Chains A and B, each alone.
Chain A
Amino acid sequence: MKIKEIFQTMDYGTAPESNKEAVQFLEKYNRKFGLFIDGKWVDPQSKTYFFSENPSNQDFLAEIADGNKTDVDHAVEAAKKALPGWVKMGGHQRARYLYALARQIQKHARVLSVLESMDNGKPIRETRDIDIPLVARHFYHHAGWAQLMDSEMKDYQEIGVVGQIIPWNFPMLMLAWKIAPALAMGNTVVLKPAEFTSLTALYFAELCQQIGLPKGVVNIVTGFGGTGAALVDHPDVQKIAFTGSTEVGKIIRKATAGSGKKISLELGGKSPFIVFEDADLDSVVEGVVDAIWFNQGQVCCAGSRLLVEESVAEKLYEKLKHRIETFRVGDSLDKSIDMGAIVSKGQLKVIKDLVQEGIDEGNTIWQPTWECPENGCFFPPTVFTDVSPAAKIAQEEIFGPVLVAMTFRSHTEAVKLANNTRYGLAASIWTENINLALDIAPQIKAGTVWVNCTNVFDAASGFGGYRESGYGREGGKEGLFEYVKPKADKQLVVVADDPKSKNKPSGIKPPSIDITYKMYIGGKQVRPDGGNSIVLYNAAGEYLGDVPKGSRKDVRDAVEAAHANKSWANMTGHAKAQVLYYIAENLQKREDEWVSRIQQVSLLSKEKAQSEFDKGIERIFYYAAKADKYDGMVHHTVQKNVTLAMPEPIGVMAVVCPENSPFLGFISTLFPALTMGNHVVCVPAEKFTTLALDFYQILETSDMPAGAMNILSGFHEDLVPELAKHMDVDGIWYFGNAGLSSKTEELSVGNLKRTWVAYGKSRDWFENSLGQGDEFLRQASHIKNIWIPYGA
């Protein structure tokens, strides 16, 4: 175009970033890549390859190997072989390698950015200014954790060989989030990139070679879902870390149930973006841009549901409509665009179909007047207004540049709408009132809450979900725990049955008046819904009592009662501690009675029963002490903000108590859950049921709020599966046999509740390293990171 003409139109033109180095990389491999196993490039055993193309223009990029089960076997074998050396070299040596990777990534930042942009379709601005700098940052940060592992994580050790499956939306960043903490903590890795976006992972393989990373520590096996499945099923893989759809996350949960594999899942979202009337609306508009039009909206934590206070809704909508007119969509390597291409034709179709459904449902759609380029997988920024929560587009993750907007009347309604979703990955709150922001943030069920900002990430802060957005955190200290296990776990043993000492009778006589045991639900003693009882005897055949035979109806009632009253969850640590101490006090008052009850149910000697009682009281003191001390952190993130990492209760937890140590086992599993503010549905060990049912008398005299602790009795086979599949139970601990452990994990898939199961291994509850500690509190909580930028 003539300069004179441009002088009039003041068009931008295009500003293409050079792809020279990226193309050179592809050409060096003749645009055909093998698998990276044991430090070498190998041809896939499958002998099959698939094409990777540029979604901006459908250009062919390279042929990618489709790894099969044998390839995965080889990769896992290499990782397994590399493991001992990698562990043995220690944190400092590993830190050196991670540091070298960080440096190499920085040195080759531009080619990585270009490659990523070509492969995925996202704007070069994003890969250059966001993705790749975060990748380098992640390796730096975790070089530090490798160095500090001996001191900061001294009770923990590596898990072993880790299988990692990553998505196509942030290919290189997700690689970093997976590989950096895994390597730092001494694990070795087999990573499968998403089939659409393998290239930067393959470039990373080359960087591993360049820095002389020991062979087999990182293995990259490209392929489709089948490749991932082979990795998930591999018996020598001790941990699966997955980022992707909730659907696949659930498949992985099911597939690994009972295997003892540790899993972390970072899944979908339908994150709320809440705008209060006192927000800076022009800044909100840019926030929306960052929320839903970042990476074409293909972001798991995209702020896809705009909730706006009625008083400012119209004004904000006008501003948004104006803003999308100035949007530019185009080739990902053009430096003058806001959005690039959708990753694939398939994904584009998913978006188009959902948008059509949104139109058919009668929602109001807003799109810019300009047209997207014809070539390539493009979709314009789109806003739906007047959407009701019942609309499909308000519930389903669209994973595209589509915002759905609805209004709210009050703060309470805003919270309700925000939480009206199966997901819980992130949320964004916009207000100039810090009081309001910090009132709302803890009420939102999400792992990350951004105040007056959105889609801000840093290696020092954990990221991960609540509810069906998955579990586990990536980043920060909280993220390290996904790649370690307690050293003390080695002492867990599979025991057949309690060695019964000849079943000598206790000789303790039952009271002369008949005892009526009831269950304890919502602060009340209740009879079982089914109207049946179980007659309990101890191992010597002495009668203990008739205890209620709980059924699924009782599970329903107990869970409802646990949800009905949030007063325990909302109490301060200090207030909770007071109640816990008071329980100990009230137990101590009736010491003799309790020691004899312990004897009666367990047939332990008086001395042993006494020491169990004493240790139990001590344990209550331990958790009462922790109640106002297990607190959060302020993370050193690189942005100008305060990042608060707050442990929050999981919600309503089912705790199924262990079969050993009648009193101490009960106390040791119940109290950490309560300490973190969970409302608990407790199922005692079957044979110790009477002891647990005696306990509600203590609760009733100790100021424990109704609903905070509920006790169900009955057969575990009846109760545990019901609890495990209950959609309103947020977490379950099961300290029993392998069979029900497996079942618990499998059934937890419905709402992806957090699970912690024993697989039939028992622990010595007298041993402090096994019977108490932060590990219990960590399992009873999750971290919410609240980002609060500052500056006036």
Chain B
Amino acid sequence: MGKNISKAKSVETMVRVTSHHVRNEPIPFNTAFFDQIQINKSAVDRRASTLTKRRSVKKEYQAAWLLKAITCMDLTTLAGDDTKGNVMRLCAKAKNPVRKDILSALGMADAGITTGAVCVYHNLIPFAKEALDGSHIPIAAVSTGFPAGQITLEQKLKEIDMSVKAGATEIDIVISRALVLQSKWEELYEEIKACRIACGQAHMKTILATGEIPTYTKVAKASMVAMMAGSDFIKTSTGKEAVNATLPVSLVMLRAIREYQQLTGYKVGFKPAGGIAKAKDALAWLILMKEELGMDWLQPDLFRFGASSLLGDIERQLEHFVTGAYSASYRHPMA
């Protein structure tokens, strides 16, 4: 069969090394970047619904892709009842996301598979820092009045500052949805840019909360504004909105990322979050990334999943690949 598919002459067959792209820096606010944007929702929905039917990843390819998904995962807990205890467990799982025997069977025992990061609330950063000490796994903290963002800008900046000082190297901010709803784009830009400056060396992921934005056109415009303001990633959702990450809304944001790269040369990362719970979903997003943006966006420096229960399903699928028998969740260490 291998002979019967189209062969890439270019990058696809080369072994890839992690890219060291230039970090996205804020640029001056410019309405020309988004004034003309008009997104046709039905066409976007159609593309999103057929995209994952045009590509299928099976067998050893699927196993490799699922491992890739793990390395791009912000393993997350964001609950009112989070304690040191469950955050420590989460971090342990981030360091060893897949059972050693399974990794060995896949020939990946020495590949250093960990999740992309762990993601927690601010006050839990110290426990995560303690648990992840020496692992190089970044700590992401949600910030700026997550999830609703209904606090003053001053409070938001302070919160970022505290989280960075506490050891978070990635900050997931939420935007003021009101500014999007009222099309106050320049104010939105200023707010996000202020956050970006507050982040300093920490990478900033800007959550648009697309479930609360009424149109794809506004999602695209908000994406552009967030990128102009220096976001390292743009992210779909907090996981707390009624509608979280969907493929079509992701497609809209990815096309904005592509457009932004063409306009400025900067590569901006993407993080879908909320509701991505199945291995199959993870594959769908990886396919979407590869098709729309290419190989660079299949690495954790430009792509992350925000997920809490996804890992469990991926572990089961990996064991199934190794043993040929469907797996059970209790066979895998919990987070």
Measuring CB to CB, which residues of chain A are less than 8 angstroms from any residue of chain B? 1-16, 56-57, 125, 129, 278-280, 282-283, 286-287, 325-331, 334-338, 369-376, 432, 452-453, 640-641, 789-792
Contact = CB atoms under 8 A, between A and B. Distances in A.
A129 B60 contact: no
The 7 A-B residue pairs whose C-beta atoms are closest, nearest first, are A283-B43, A6-B64, A15-B56, A789-B42, A330-B5, A13-B61, A335-B56
Nearest to A330: B5
Interface in B30-51: 36, 38-47, 50
A516 B57 CA distance: 83
Contact of A370 (B7, B50, B291): B7
A547 to B, nearest CB: 59
Contacts, number: 157
A277 B63 CA distance: 44
B264 interface: no
Contact of A792 (B10, B41, B50): B41
Contact of A452 (B43, B55, B60): B43
Interface residues of B, number: 54
Contacts of A5: 15
B165 interface: no
A400 to B, nearest CB: 16
B3 A13 contact: no
B331 interface: no
Contacts of B284: none
Is the contact region of chain B dominated by helix, strand, or loop, or is it mixed? helix
B134 interface: no
Contact of B107 (A4, A8, A282): A4
Contact of A328 (B6, B61, B111): B6
Interface of B: 1-10, 12-16, 36, 38-47, 50, 53-61, 63-65, 67-68, 106-108, 111, 215-217, 255, 286, 290-291, 295, 298
Contacts of B44: 280, 283
B16 A9 contact: yes
Contacts of A3: 60, 63-64, 67, 106-108
Given A14-B1, A791-B41, A792-B41, A369 B9 contact: yes
A453 B43 CA distance: 7
A791 B45 contact: yes
Contact of A6 (B40, B43, B61, B291): B61
A372 B111 CA distance: 34
Nearest to A640: B42
A15 B255 CA distance: 27
B59 A13 contact: yes
Given A129-B50, A282-B255, A640-B42, A334 B7 contact: no
Contacts of A371: 6-7, 9
Contact of B38 (A4, A8, A373, A432): A432
Contacts of A10: 16, 64-65, 68, 286, 290, 295, 298
Task: Select the residue from B5, B42, B47 with max chain A CB neighbours within 10 A.
Answer: B5
Nearest to A790: B42
A158 B335 CA distance: 70
Is the contact region of chain A dominated by helix, strand, or loop, or is it mixed? loop
Nearest to A4: B107
22 contacts: A1-B61, A3-B107, A5-B15, A6-B60, A6-B61, A9-B12, A10-B64, A11-B61, A12-B57, A13-B57, A13-B61, A283-B43, A330-B6, A334-B4, A336-B5, A336-B57, A337-B54, A338-B54, A370-B6, A370-B7, A370-B8, A452-B42
Contacts of A640: 42
Contact of A791 (B4, B42, B60): B42
Contacts of A641: 42
B108 A4 contact: yes
B111 A286 contact: no
A370 B16 CA distance: 19
B4 A7 contact: no
A325 B217 CA distance: 27
B42 A7 contact: no
Given A3-B106, A331-B5, A453 B54 contact: no
A327 B5 CA distance: 11
Nearest to B61: A13
Given A328-B5, A371-B9, A283 B55 contact: no
Contacts of A283: 39-40, 43-44, 47
Contact of B4 (A14, A327, A335): A14
Nearest to B2: A14
A337 B65 CA distance: 18
Nearest to B67: A7
B219 to A, nearest CB: 12
Contacts of A125: 50, 53-54
A432 B13 CA distance: 39
